[in-house]
Amino acid sequence: MSEPLLRVQDLHKTYRLPGGRALAAVAGVSFTLDAGETLGLVGESGCGKSSLARCIVRLQTPSAGRILLNGTEITTLPPAALRPHRRTMQLVFQDPITSLDPRMRAGDIVAEPLRNYGLAAPDARIAELFAQVGLRGDQMRAFPHQLSGGQRQRLGIARALALQPSLIVLDEPVSALDVSVQAQVINLLVDLQARLGVAYLFVAHDLGVVAHVSHRVAVMYLGRIVELASRDQVFSTPAHPYTRALLAAAPQPDPTAPRIVPPVGEPPSRIAPPSGCAFHTRCPSAMPHCAQQTPSLRDIGEGRLVACHLA
Ligand code: SF4
């Protein structure tokens, strides 16, 4: 079997807080991502999905575990050794207005990664990248504030594509946009993947968006993946009570359809997470031993991974 594009093994990210307390944002996450594939990563705010995304592109250094890109371990590589690998993985942020330099013209923003690697950035190449994302050539002279929100996100995508990466990590890439613009950017991402074969790790809290773009979906709760399966499995027959709760809480196209009871209350503290299954304080199916025994993420058939004693 060939090595996947990305392999994440038992990854941890723990932040040290004032007073010596620890916050385990990512607590033992493992998954793989193949070339040209999209893995959707969903969960409530604060579940650790953005910390995980930042560790994978090495904006943050993981506390433990391994990240392998094309079979090469990059987990703790120092900056100089990491540099050639950074070319193959790019990050697109949620809010392009804060991630793009407001003093640079759009053409220079897209050319900058090429120049950083000592590569030529002729206008023809920049214009080609603009065209790929649906921006006009004359917009190369614009500053970010002169573009709309959707155009700025297209600019961020063009910049991410400049070095022809194999992997783009998209951290809530459309959640700051109007719904109609969201659809345009999502369709652009799907189209780019079909043409360029780039893989996406797509971080989002909007299940509708994830359903549209993903081949597989990983559901995170308090720093752990609790379900990882194909898109159809997750959305048609969710196996974990938390996945069912997320789907129940999402807007329904048919308001008369039977609904599953959403999870009760707020997510518990990440500094002192519940013992055993961390979801037991909100789970409608919880049993007494759920508070003592942590369920492992195991294959329940057809490659579907679920962390629940009932699965
Ligand atoms: Fe609910 Fe228990 Fe399954 Fe956790 S292990 S999701 S508490 S049934």
**134-155: pLDDT as tens digits:** 999 999 999 999 999 999 999 9
Q: Is 70 exceeded by the pLDDT of residue 251?
A: no
pLDDT 10s digits, 182-241 = 999 999 999 999 999 999 999 998 888 899 999 999 999 999 999 999 999 999 999 999
Cβ contacts of residue 198 below 8 Å, gap of 6+? 36, 161, 165, 166, 167, 168, 192
Query: Sign of the C-alpha dihedral, residues 64, 66, 67, 72?
Result: positive
Q: Is 50 exceeded by the pLDDT of residue 260?
A: no
Q: Is 90 exceeded by the pLDDT of residue 270?
A: no
Q: What is the per-residue pLDDT for 258?
A: 40
What is the CA(241)–ligand 1 centre distance, in A? 7
Q: Which of 69, 58, 77 is nearest to 32 (CA)?
A: 69
Q: Is 60 exceeded by the pLDDT of residue 163?
A: yes
Q: What is the per-residue pLDDT for 263?
A: 55
pLDDT 10s digits, 95-115 = 777 888 999 999 999 999 999
Ligand 1 and 280: CB distance under 6 A? yes
Ligand 1 atom closest to 277 (CA): 4
Q: What is the per-residue pLDDT for 256?
A: 45
| Residue ranges covered by each domain of the chain | 6-88+165-251+258-306
**Of 257 and 203, more confident:** 203
Ligand 1 atom closest to 293 (CA): 5
Lowest mean pLDDT among 11-15, 88-92, 96-100, 170-174: 96-100
Q: Which letter, b or e, does each residue of 6-16 get, where b requires 16 or more Cβ atoms within 10 Å of its Cβ?
A: bbbbebbbbee
Q: What is the per-residue pLDDT for 96?
A: 74
What is the CA(53)–ligand 1 centre distance, in A? 26
56, two tokens: 């994978």
132, two tokens: 């790929």
Ligand 1 and 290: CB distance under 6 A? yes
Q: Which of 185, 159, 53 is nearest to 106 (CA)?
A: 159
39, two tokens: 């893995």
Q: Is 80 exceeded by the pLDDT of residue 61?
A: yes
CA dihedral 190, 211, 93, 82 (to 10 degrees): -80
Integer-rounded Cα radius of gyration of the chain: 20
DSSP code of 121? -
What is the CA(237)–ligand 1 centre distance, in A? 17
**Where residue 254 falls among pLDDT bands split at 50, 70, 90?**
very low
The CATH class for the domain spanning 6-88+165-251+258-306 reads alpha beta
Ligand 1 atom closest to 280 (CA): 7
What is the CA(155)–ligand 1 centre distance, in A? 43
Ligand 1 and 277: CB distance under 6 A? yes
What is the CA(308)–ligand 1 centre distance, in A? 5
What is the CA(33)–ligand 1 centre distance, in A? 27
Residue 269 Cα distances to 25, 68, 141, 290, angstroms: 11, 31, 47, 18
Q: Is 24 helix (H, G, I), strand (E, B) or coil?
A: strand
What's the predicted TM-score (pTM) here? 0.92
CB neighbourhood size of 286 (10 A):
17
Q: What is the per-residue pLDDT for 95?
A: 77
183, two tokens: 């659809």
d(CA 131, CA 258): 45
Ligand 1 and 96: CB distance under 6 A? no
- Protein residue with least CA distance to atom 7, ligand 1: 280
pLDDT 10s digits, 66-82 = 999 999 999 999 999 99
What is the CA(221)–ligand 1 centre distance, in A? 12
Q: Is 70 exceeded by the pLDDT of residue 257?
A: no
Ramachandran class of 134: left when φ > 0, alpha when ψ lies in -120 to 50, beta otherwise: left
**Of 49 and 263, more confident:** 49
- Protein residue with least CA distance to atom 5, ligand 1: 308
d(CA 86, CA 108): 20
Q: Which of 153, 114, 148, 149 is nearest to 133 (CA)?
A: 153
- Protein residue with least CA distance to atom 3, ligand 1: 308
**Where residue 255 falls among pLDDT bands split at 50, 70, 90?**
very low
Q: Is 60 exceeded by the pLDDT of residue 253?
A: no
Ligand 1 and 309: CB distance under 6 A? yes
Q: Is 129 helix (H, G, I), strand (E, B) or coil?
A: helix
What is the CA(293)–ligand 1 centre distance, in A? 10
Return contacts of 234-240, CB within 8 angstroms, 24+ apart.
Answer: 235/207, 235/211, 239/300, 239/304, 239/306, 239/308, 239/311, 240/306, 240/307, 240/308, 240/311
What is the CA(286)–ligand 1 centre distance, in A? 5
Ligand 1 atom closest to 242 (CA): 6
Q: Which of 226, 275, 290, 305 to mutate to test the pocket of ligand 1 (most atoms within 8 A of CB)?
A: 290
pLDDT 10s digits, 6-41 = 999 999 999 999 888 999 999 999 999 999 999 999
CB neighbourhood size of 178 (10 A):
12
d(CA 69, CA 66): 10
